[in-house]
Every structure is written in C-alpha cells, then in structure tokens.
Amino acid sequence: MNEKIEGTFDGLPEQCWGVLNTTNELILIKRGIRGYFPQEEENAKLSVENVDMINKRNGVTKGQRKAMENGSIFGWSIPASNPAIYDDFGDLKEVNKLKNPRWTNKNYKRR
C-alpha cells in the first residue's frame, strides 16, 4: 500500500502528521508515498488541534497538511495535493484568487 510515487512536490514537507477522518487516529504521511502510516495505540487519539500544533512546530502549515492528506489518499498529481490552493486555515481558496493555479473549473470537463 505504501508505494513511492515519482514527481515534483512543490511546497510540501518531507512528512507531516495527520488525523484519519474516519477514526480520528493519528497518522504519519510521507511526501510522495501512497497511503499513510498508522501510529502506536497510546499516541493514536490526538485531536486535529494537537496535530496542527505539532506540525506547526515542525514548520508544516495547515494547508500543507491538507494537501499531504489528500495526496496520500487520492494521488499526488491531483489539484488537492497542491498546498497553494489552501488558505492559512487549511480551507480551499476561491479559484479566482489563486496565483497560477494548476487547475481551474474552466479546464475541467465532465465525461
């Protein structure tokens, strides 16, 4: 499950901590690797606030965490793995406010 994906990962840290949405378990995410690494039982129940505090100490922003979570689950070549699309709170920016976005609604076509 944890295969290394080749590519460029501008703005992403080597690794960060995240929280698995379905169980609230602490996970370690490594840049470019599909999947995540569950953590030991005694460390596994941390809140998102604690994870953001730990990441901040390591120089990881909330936007980078969100991009890393999405990249590890959905793939590293999707727009959601680009930290530039998130604001300081880890929420998506409005597309028209992005500088040089890799993706916009204009170049997305439904099949």
Spell out the domain ranges in the chain: 15-91
- How far apart are alpha carbons 103 and 95 in whole angstroms? 9
pLDDT at res. 44:
57
Give the residue-averaged pLDDT of 68-78. 91
| pLDDT tier at 100, thresholds 50, 70, 90 | low
Q: What percent of the chain has pLDDT over 90?
A: 45
pLDDT at res. 23:
79
The pTM of this model reads: 0.74
Nearest to 79 by CA among 110, 111, 48, 108: 108
- How far apart are alpha carbons 40 and 73 in whole angstroms? 20
